[in-house]
């Protein structure tokens, strides 16, 4: 959207056209725009780049109700469902015959594939308008995380510091500061592209998951809302007192996913999320729904912090279950 289209103080729902699908429907990306009465920065909040990660779209409802436009400085751009195609199919990626089915690996893509086209709309009409970006991810159904990531390797080193400031302001106890542009998720991820190509610092909030106890999930939703409000205070968008936060840093991630299909049975569950684990510690088991035999034990490959936990669910080989973070030497 252009500055001319932006109204004075107010709320607007903007529908950004992407293209026409084979069934004749129009594909569009919906942006909730909240423009405050005072001048200030623009913060973009993007969730569900992966269609199976739908905790943040739910949390956005409560977030929007917290924002008082009379006291808001600047503009909040909320994209609740960045990937409506994958969201509609309940899958992480777009199911088509493309070379780039993963929207979060398609930024800067120049082809006509759906993900490339959606990434272009998001880049040109949301990210390019923003001074900072928060990208929400959580586990797919049955897996949860609780860490905020910020790139350590934007070419513009000042952007790395700004991203770290955003990550601290989000207020979670652990920050993962690693090379996200040159390594994972890479230069074609949204946070990689936003900083490296558009000069907009971005963080990734990997907090919560779906498929857990209602009480646990509602605590995660509140963490997401509190995190965004913390970032808004940090950016001067809210005249609230800044809350001092301390965080520990984690580094390399080791995925501990089943190599064989079966029922994942957690030994360590949500109560152990972001708690220490020892090398070799039993995290969970996989058992056959056919013979009922245990066919795999999931053990921590290193000592570190438990970065992802599952709930009991059937898993195909490689599906998400556990992840262990190494503690980082970065002392920030
Ligand atoms: Zn994701």
Q: Which residues contact 271 (CB under 8 A, 6 or more apart)?
A: none
Q: Residue 251 is encoded by which pair of tokens?
A: 């580094």
Asked if residue 203 has pLDDT above 50, the reply is yes
Domain containing residue 52: CATH number: 3.40.630.10
Residues in the chain: 332
The parent domain of residue 101 ranges over 3-234
Task: Kindly state whether residues 117 and 178 are assigned to the same domain.
Answer: yes
Res 8 pLDDT > 80: no
Contacts of 68 (CB under 8 A, 6+ apart): none
CB count within 10 Å of CB 106 equals 29
Using the predicted structure, report yes or no on whether residue 148 has a pLDDT greater than 60.
yes
| Residue 243 within a domain | no
> Rounded distance, CA 116 to CA 281, Å?
41
| Span from the CA of 89 to the centroid of ligand 1 (angstroms) | 15
pLDDT tens track for 187-196? 999 999 999 9
pLDDT score of 141:
87
Ligand 1 mean position, distance from CA 292 (Å): 32
pLDDT of residue 139: 78
Domain end residue (candidates: 199, 234, 269): 234
Shared domain check, 152 and 283? no
Maximum Cα–Cα distance for the chain, whole Å? Answer: 65
Q: Please indicate, yes or no, if residue 270 is contained in any of the structural domains.
A: yes
Structure confidence by residue, pLDDT tens digits, 52-98: 998 998 899 999 998 999 999 999 999 999 999 999 999 999 988 89
Would you state the pLDDT for residue 284? 98
% of the chain beyond a pLDDT of 70? 97
Same domain as 193, residue 83: yes
Strand pairing category for 10-20 and 26-35:
antiparallel
Cα(284)–Cα(142) distance, integer angstroms: 13
Domain end, chosen from 234, 260, 280, is at 234
Residues near 28 by beta carbon (within 8 Å), at least 6 away in sequence: 15, 16, 17, 18, 84
Return d(Cα 45, Cα 51) in angstroms, integer: 16
| pLDDT category of residue 244 using cuts at 50, 70 and 90 | confident
Please say if the pLDDT value at position 311 is more than 70.
yes
CA of 268 to the centre of ligand 1 (A): 22
The residue with tokens 């923003």 is: 130
Residue 72 lies in a domain: yes
**1 has pLDDT over 70:** no
149 Cα to the center of ligand 1, angstroms: 12
CA of 115 to the centre of ligand 1 (A): 14
CATH of the domain at 258: 2.40.50.100
Give the pLDDT of residue 241: 87
Q: How far apart are CA 208 and CA 206, in angstroms?
A: 7
Same domain, 55 and 196: yes
Token pair in block for residue 103: 């929207």
d(CA 8, ligand 1 centre) in Å? 34
- Residue pair 60/76 in contact by the 8 Å Cβ criterion: no
pLDDT at residue number 7: 52
Tell me what the pLDDT averaged over the chain comes to: 94
Distance CA 53, CA 87 (A): 8
Distance from residue 274's CA to the centre of ligand 1 (Å):
18
Q: How far is the CA of 218 from the centre of ligand 1 (A)?
A: 19
Which of 301, 253, 266 shows the shortest CA–CA distance to 281? Answer: 301
In Å, how far are 190, 256, 259 from 158, measured between CA atoms?
Answer: 19, 34, 41
Q: How far is the CA of 48 from the centre of ligand 1 (A)?
A: 7
- Residue 245 forms part of a structural domain: no
d(CA 122, CA 46): 9
Per-residue pLDDT, 323: 97
275 C-alpha to center of ligand 1: Å?
A: 22
* pLDDT over 60 at 4, yes or no: no
Residue 8 located in a structural domain = yes
* Local confidence band at 5 (pLDDT 50, 70, 90 cut-offs): very low
Looking at residues 257-272, what average pLDDT do you find?
A: 97
Q: Please give the distance, rounded to the nearest whole angstrom, from the Cα atom of residue 137 to the centre of ligand 1.
A: 4
Assess whether pLDDT exceeds 50 at residue 320: yes
CA 136 – ligand 1 centroid, Å: 7
Looking at the fold, whether 218 and 156 belong to one and the same domain comes out as yes
Give 110 Cα–ligand 1 centroid separation in angstroms: 22
Check whether residue 228 and residue 256 sit in a common domain. Answer: no
Q: What is the mean pLDDT of residues 178-205?
A: 97
> How remote is the CA of residue 160 from the centroid of ligand 1, in Å?
21
Q: How confident is the model at residue 242 (pLDDT cuts 50, 70, 90)?
A: confident
How would DSSP label each residue in 142-154? TEEEEEEEEES--
Give 222-236 pLDDT, tens digit per residue: 999 999 999 999 999
**207, 234, 261 — which closes off a domain?**
234
| Claim to verify: residue 145 and residue 259 sit in the same structural domain | no
Counting the structural domains of the chain, the total is 2
Q: CA torsion angle for 190, 196, 201, 207 (degrees, to 10)?
A: 30
Nearest to 186 by CA among 93, 108, 117, 114: 108
């Amino acid at each position: 959207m252009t500055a001319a289209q932006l109204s004075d103080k107010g709320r607007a729902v903007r529908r950004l056209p992407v293209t026409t699908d084979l069934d004749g429907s129009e594909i569009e990306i919906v942006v909730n725009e909240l423009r405050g009465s005072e001048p200030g920065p623009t913060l973009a909040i993007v969730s569900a780049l992966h269609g199976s990660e739908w905790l943040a779209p739910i949390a956005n409802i409560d977030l929007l109700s917290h924002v008082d436009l009379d006291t808001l400085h600047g503009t909040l751009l909320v994209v609740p469902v960045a990937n409506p195609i994958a969201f509609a199919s309940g899958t992480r990626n777009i199911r088509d015959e493309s070379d780039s089915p993963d929207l979060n690996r398609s930024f800067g893509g120049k082809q006509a594939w759906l993900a490339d086209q959606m990434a272009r709309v998001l880049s040109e009409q949301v990210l390019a308008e923003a001074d900072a970006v928060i990208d929400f991810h959580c586990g797919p159904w049955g897996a949860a995380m609780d860490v905020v990531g910020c790139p350590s390797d934007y070419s513009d080193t000042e952007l790395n510091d700004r991203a770290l400031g955003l990550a601290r302001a989000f207020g979670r106890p652990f920050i993962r500061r690693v090379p996200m542009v040159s390594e994972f998720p890479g230069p074609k991820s949204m946070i990689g592209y936003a900083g490296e190509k558009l000069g907009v610092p971005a963080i990734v909030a990997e907090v919560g998951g779906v498929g857990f106890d209602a009480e646990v999930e509602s605590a995660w939703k509140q963490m997401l809302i509190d995190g965004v409000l913390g970032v808004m205070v940090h950016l001067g968008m809210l005249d609230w007192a800044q809350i001092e936060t301390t965080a520990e840093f984690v580094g390399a991630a080791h995925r501990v996913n089943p190599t064989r299909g079966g029922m994942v049975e957690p030994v360590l569950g949500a109560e152990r999320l972001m708690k220490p684990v020892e090398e070799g510690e039993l995290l969970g088991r996989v058992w056959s729904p056919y013979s009922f035999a245990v066919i795999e034990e999931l053990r921590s490959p290193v000592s570190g912090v438990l970065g992802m936990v599952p709930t009991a669910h059937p898993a195909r080989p490689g599906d998400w279950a556990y992840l262990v973070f190494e503690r980082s030497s970065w002392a920030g």
